[in-house]
A = this chain, B = another copy of it.
Amino acid sequence: MNFSPGPTNLPAAVEAEVKKLFDSERMCSMYLSHRSPEFISILEETTKLAREVMHIPDNYEVLFMHGGGHGQFAAAPMNLCTSKEDKATYLVNGTWSQRAAEEASKYATPIVVSSQNKDGSFTSNPSLDNIDKDSKYIYLCSNETVNGIEMHRLPKLGPDSPPLVIDASSDFSTKSIDWVESNVGLLYACASKNIGHPGLTMVVIRKDLIGNQQNICPGVFCYKTNVEGENLWNTIATFNVEVVGIVMKWILQQGGVEEMETRSIAKSSMIYDLIENSNGFFCTPLQDKSIRSRMNVPFDICGGDQELTKEFVIKGWEQGIVGLRTKTPFGVGKLRASLYNGVSVENTVKLATFMDQFMKCKQKS
């Protein structure tokens, strides 16, 4: 039972399918030429399934790129701002949007609208009033994994607003996106949270925004180059693409992205409710329930008591519960339960049961 913030497990049924790839009559995509008819067919199928799952309109291109989320932190401004003088608004509500704004300052003039508190924490989203209309785009991270802040729906800023650029690395395929109404220009998701494993980033780019890249944009990060090369300008991460296809197929079989959202709400509510009803034994930093992440539930035990936290982690591990404590610079005594698509409702129940039992045991003693 892996509650890691990622990379992490995929749904059990997906993992079983992945394993089968190594027993299949057809050569596993790990070993296929990216230009072979067999792989081209896998690529087309994965793209089709991803479009279907996420209802991606025809005026968007789907790319599978190298470089992870960090690569896109650079790629977005290099492709959408024609020079360093071009402005882009960065809505900063946590660690990752902050890092994205820093990277963007190499290639553009980011206008940072931050909700950071004086103590460095984030417990709210930045204001959407007074957005700079001359910005080439408005950047946001729809789920901040470290801070546990999620935008359950993308903002709809109206037709005169610059397009949105969205880092959806940790919530992609867990809820629907209104591409048109939210004026989405670019969205990307590294694969290793909800849709696959490390080494691949899915990019969705609106066609009218392609072709404005700066001269210094590396070919591997140039949307125009990769669109023209039909994802094969350079060697695509073949196996990773096939895994994403398996995940997308699974999502469809389960009932689509709407069902993923239903499960995400159910799973996260279970943990948040338990925390709320623990009389302060467990505590989560966000008071505003409307922005609490369904993907990553940050919490501590008795205000971050180190002994109790250690005991909790060890006892959890003994029951097969892992990934709650990570090495992210997240603070001593802080825990986080990540509930991506790969985490089943059943396993979330087990986590909640364990948390409840641990609390009751400690309250007795």
The interface of chain A, by Cβ under 8 A from chain B, is 2, 4-10, 15, 18-19, 22-23, 27, 30-36, 66-71, 73-75, 103, 106-107, 190, 192, 197-200, 215-221, 233-240, 243, 323, 326-328
Q: Which residues of the other chain, B, contact A103 by a CB distance below 8 angstroms?
A: 218-219
Q: Is the CB of A5 within 8 A of B33?
A: yes
Chain B residues near A74 (CB-CB < 8 A): 218-220
How many angstroms from the CA of A33 to the CA of B322 in the assembled complex? 11
Chain B residues in 8 Å Cβ range of A199: 66, 199-200, 237-240
Is the Cβ of B35 less than 8 Å from the Cβ of A328? yes
Whole-angstrom distance between the Cβ of A309 and the nearest chain B Cβ: 18
Q: Are B216 and A323 in contact (CB under 8 A)?
A: no
* Cβ of A195 to closest chain B Cβ, rounded Å: 13
Cβ-defined contact, A197 with B7, below 8 A: no
Distance A27 CA – B197 CA, assembled complex (angstroms)? 13
* Copies of the protein in its oligomer: 2
When the two chains form their complex, are residues A7 and B22 in contact, meaning their CB atoms are under 8 A apart? no
Q: Given the interface contacts A33-B5, A35-B328, A70-B219, does A238 sit within 8 Å of B22 by beta carbon? A: no
A236 neighbours in B (Cβ, 8 Å): 198
Which of B7, B15, B73, B215 contacts A33 (CB under 8 A)?
A: B7
B31:A10 contact, CB within 8 angstroms: yes
Instruction: From B70, B106, B215, B233, give the contact of A106 (CB < 8 A).
Output: B215
For A4, A8, A33, which residue has the most chain B Cβ atoms within 10 angstroms? A33
A198 touches B71 (CB 8 A): no
Measured between beta carbons, the chain B residues less than 8 angstroms from A215 are 106
The reply to whether A33 and B19 form a contact with Cβ atoms under 8 Å apart is no
| A235 x B30 contact (CB < 8 A) | no
Q: Which 4 A-B pairs have the closest CB atoms?
A: A199-B237, A74-B218, A199-B199, A70-B234
Q: Which residue of B lies closest to A327 (CB)?
A: B35
Q: Quote the shortest CB–CB distance from A162 to chain B (angstroms).
A: 23
Additional A-B contacts beyond A7-B30, A18-B30 (17; CB < 8 A)? A9-B31, A30-B197, A30-B243, A33-B326, A35-B327, A67-B218, A68-B234, A69-B234, A69-B235, A71-B218, A73-B219, A106-B217, A106-B218, A197-B239, A198-B237, A199-B199, A199-B238
Specify which of B15, B33, B107 is in contact with A31 (CB 8 Å cutoff).
Answer: B15
Residue of B nearest to A33 (CB): B4
B10 contacts A220, CB within 8 Å? no
- In the assembly, what is the distance between CA of A73 and CA of B221, in Å? 12
From the candidates B35, B71, B243, B323, name the one contacting A220 in the complex (CB within 8 A): B71
B residues less than 8 Å from A233 (CB atoms): 70
A141 CB → nearest B CB, Å: 15
